[in-house]
Amino acid sequence: MAIDPVCGMQVDPAGAAAIRQHEGRNYFFCAPGCAEAFDADPQRYLAGEERSAER
């Protein structure tokens, strides 16, 4: 399972409503609206991911 970076919902990559690639990595979304929000400002949604990796 993957985590939608916009809403935090678990998403099965095989059935994702949308997929985006950013900086060489795939992101999976539960709904087209989450993918659109991500498209508008990916760094807003990935900032927390970077902080988690630093721990």
- Alpha-carbon distance 37 to 14, whole Å? 21
> What does the pLDDT read at residue 47?
83
When comparing pLDDT for 50 and 25, which is higher?
Answer: 25
Q: What is the pTM of this model?
A: 0.84
- Alpha-carbon distance 55 to 41, whole Å? 24
Contact 3, 19 (CB under 8 A): no
pLDDT at 49 over 80: no
> What does the pLDDT read at residue 52?
43
Q: How does pLDDT run across 2-48, given as a tens digit for each residue?
A: 999 999 999 999 999 999 999 999 999 999 999 999 999 999 999 86
Range of the domain at 40: 2-54
- Alpha-carbon distance 22 to 51, whole Å? 17
Domains: count for the chain: 1
> What does the pLDDT read at residue 53?
42
